[in-house]
């Protein structure tokens, strides 16, 4: 029997196992409630995705999501979007009327970053996005599925071709020339096919990883039991939002195009340096391309690693603290102390939040506020916030997308709350303003402050359709109630920030 430091329960007894392997039975009274010792102290990890989701979200929401997925793929409108050339796995699957099993749906939810609730909601909309997410999930590794079979048989191909061409060495120059022509033609065709496959892999991986990161929700992945009894610091949400924004920056349309263009040029260059390649050189090139495709796929998938590491680090830390707390609670309870259950503790937290707001403080931000932030969306924004200022359209480093992405997450989350209550689409005139750009504005006589809070990344200038005195004052009142402390009234826009309290 292995030595353990934990508590073992066998027929109402605790077994104490010493280093000498001597087992001592300690008989305890029948009134001992073992659950108080076990709860929260030892949590065995489960590799069962169904059990994990049911524990976190409940049995009904999970199986409702399974039913929703199957209903989604039964819809005629959905099936018409699934093409054999684009989604071969799903296409074959729906032809055979195969049911999506609970274990598959559970793995999909965890792998793509959904929850049972959000997946059920996603199935209510006819969208190619969910279809592509399922295809990507079943494909798992695009490199292996797209060109892996070809790469795996390269040794056999070149073994046979090499022996054939060796036999041709004894023939005359005409056949030798024919050999070179055939070899060059085959090389060009093979490399061109592989290049197109690699570029196709990039498109598919970019689509799948972008979906995973967009679906990545801190509130979703942190166990609900943790959220109920732990007040999560606002900085945790803000830092997570920074990581998510940074990861999504890669998927900017122009950036992905530049990335693919660079890959294509690199492949073309590799092809161009071999004018009259030998069999060995052709083999080397094709092997390197196969390896290159796998490296590209792994690199794009690695974009989600910081998010996963951040969440794992947080949940592990909370679990350790909760485990230590459970041990101390057990000792205190044994000594006669009263332990409040989670519901009572949550009620206390809610009451504290209400008193905090009644004292005139702005409402505390939560995970939903940060996850509700308008994405850059290639500069288009969305129906809530759009981008209009010159700095957003400027392509120089530090401008464009960076003016929104690098804005303090708290400012963005507060602005989203203001927009929701204001009920108008906001047009951002200015957000983050790098010092060099601020100096340019001052030199042009625009009137930017020398130490502008735009440089500190905690200020925005906004306007909207129907901008006038009444709407301006309404907006300012809402902004003040939601934590903005600096207010600037201008003829065509309003400045808000979270710096020192002042108005002008």
Q: CA 396, 400, 403, 406 torsion: positive or negative?
A: negative
Place of tokens 């498109």: 203
pLDDT over 80 (residue 341):
no
pLDDT over 90 (residue 353):
no
**For residues 215 and 209, what is the distance between their CA atoms, to the nearest angstrom?**
10
Cβ(427)–Cβ(388) below 8 Å: yes
Run of H or E including 173: helix 173-215
Task: State the DSSP string of 397-413.
Answer: TTSTTHHHHTS-HHHHH
DSSP bridge pairs for 489: 494
Sequence-separated (6 or more) residues with CB below 8 Å from residue 480: 487
pLDDT tens for 482-495 read 999 999 999 999 99
Of 81-90, 229-238, 417-426, minimum mean pLDDT range: 229-238
Cβ(229)–Cβ(126) below 8 Å: no
Residue 130: name the closest of 143, 118, 142, 144 by CA. Answer: 118
Q: How far is CA 76 from CA 79, 81, 342, in A?
A: 5, 9, 46
Eight-state DSSP code of residue 9 = E
Sequence-separated (6 or more) residues with CB below 8 Å from residue 167: none
CA dihedral 436, 439, 440, 441 (to 10 degrees): 130
Of 8-22, 255-269, 414-428, 472-486, minimum mean pLDDT range: 8-22
Sequence-separated (6 or more) residues with CB below 8 Å from residue 471: 424, 464
Cβ(112)–Cβ(133) below 8 Å: yes
pLDDT over 50 (residue 351):
yes
**For residues 376 and 404, what is the distance between their CA atoms, to the nearest angstrom?**
7
**For residues 306 and 113, what is the distance between their CA atoms, to the nearest angstrom?**
14
- For the CA atoms of the chain, what is the radius of gyration? 30
Domains of the chain, start order? 1-32 (no CATH), 49-139 (no CATH), 200-306 (no CATH), 372-503 (3.30.1380.10)
Give, in degrees to the nearest 5, the angle at Cα 331 between 326 and 337.
100
**Chain mean pLDDT for the chain:** 78
SS3 381: coil
pLDDT tens for 416-444 read 999 999 999 999 999 999 999 999 999 98
CA max distance for the chain: 101
Which runs of consecutive H residues, i.e. helices, occur in 304-394?
305-334, 342-358, 367-371, 390-393
In SS3 terms, 174-205 reads as HHHHHHHHHHHHHHHHHHHHHHHHHHHHHHHH
**For residues 77 and 124, what is the distance between their CA atoms, to the nearest angstrom?**
12
Give, in degrees to the nearest 5, the angle at Cα 365 between 306 and 60.
75
- Reported as a pLDDT band with limits 50, 70 and 90, residue 354 is confident
Structure tokens at 207: 């689509």
Higher-pLDDT residue of 336, 168: 336
**For residues 136 and 89, what is the distance between their CA atoms, to the nearest angstrom?**
9
**For residues 211 and 356, what is the distance between their CA atoms, to the nearest angstrom?**
37
- The pLDDT of 17-35, averaged and rounded, is 48
Place of tokens 């039913």: 67
Of 159-173, 219-233, 279-293, 482-496, minimum mean pLDDT range: 159-173
Place of tokens 């749906």: 105
């Amino acid at each position: 029997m292995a030595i353990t430091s934990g508590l073992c329960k066998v027929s109402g007894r605790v077994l104490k196992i010493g280093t000498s392997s001597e087992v001592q039975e300690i008989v305890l009274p029948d009134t001992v409630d073992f659950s108080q010792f076990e709860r929260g102290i030892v949590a065995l990890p489960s590799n069962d995705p169904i059990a994990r989701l049911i524990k976190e979200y409940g049995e009904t929401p999970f199986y409702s999501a399974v039913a929703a997925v199957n209903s989604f793929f039964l819809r005629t409108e959905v099936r018409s979007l699934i093409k054999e050339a684009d989604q071969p796995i799903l296409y074959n699957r729906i032809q055979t009327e195969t049911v999506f099993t609970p274990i598959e749906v559970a793995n999909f939810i965890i792998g793509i970053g959904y929850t049972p609730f959000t997946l059920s909601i996603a199935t209510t909309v006819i969208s190619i996005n969910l279809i592509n997410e399922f295809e990507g999930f079943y494909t798992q590794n695009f490199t292996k599925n797209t060109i892996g079979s070809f790469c795996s048989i390269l040794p056999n191909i070149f073994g046979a071709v090499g022996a054939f061409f060796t036999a041709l060495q004894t023939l005359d120059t005409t056949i030798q020339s024919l050999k070179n022509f055939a070899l060059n033609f085959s090389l060009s065709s093979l490399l061109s096919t592989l290049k197109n496959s690699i570029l196709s892999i990039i498109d598919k991986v970019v689509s799948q990883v972008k979906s995973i990161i967009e679906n990545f929700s801190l509130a979703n992945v942190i166990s609900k039991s943790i959220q109920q009894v732990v007040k999560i610091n606002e900085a945790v949400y803000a830092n997570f939002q920074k990581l998510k924004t940074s990861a999504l920056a890669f998927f900017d349309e122009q950036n992905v195009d530049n990335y693919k263009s660079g890959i294509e040029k690199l492949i073309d260059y590799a092809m161009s340096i071999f004018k009259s390649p030998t069999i060995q050189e052709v083999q080397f090139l094709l092997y390197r391309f196969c390896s290159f495709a796998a490296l590209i796929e792994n690199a794009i998938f690695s974009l989600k690693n910081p998010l996963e590491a951040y969440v794992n680090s947080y949940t592990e830390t909370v679990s350790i603290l909760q485990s230590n707390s459970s041990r101390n609670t057990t000792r205190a309870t044994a000594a006669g102390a009263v332990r409040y259950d989670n519901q009572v503790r949550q009620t206390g937290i809610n009451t504290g939040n209400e008193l905090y707001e009644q004292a005139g403080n702005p409402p505390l931000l939560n995970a939903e506020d940060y996850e509700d932030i308008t994405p850059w969306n290639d500069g288009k924004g969305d129906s809530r916030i759009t981008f209009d200022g010159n700095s957003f359209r400027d392509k120089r480093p530090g401008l464009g997308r960076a003016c929104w992405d690098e804005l303090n997450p708290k400012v963005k989350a507060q602005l989203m709350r203001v927009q929701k209550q204001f009920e108008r689409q906001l047009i951002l005139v200015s957000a983050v303003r790098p010092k060099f750009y601020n100096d340019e504005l001052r030199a042009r006589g625009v009137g930017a402050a020398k130490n502008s809070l735009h440089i500190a990344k905690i200020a925005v200038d906004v306007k909207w359709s129907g901008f006038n005195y009444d709407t301006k004052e309404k907006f300012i009142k809402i902004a003040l109630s939601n934590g903005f402390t600096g207010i600037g009234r201008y003829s065509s826009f309003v400045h808000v920030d979270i710096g020192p309290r002042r108005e002008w």
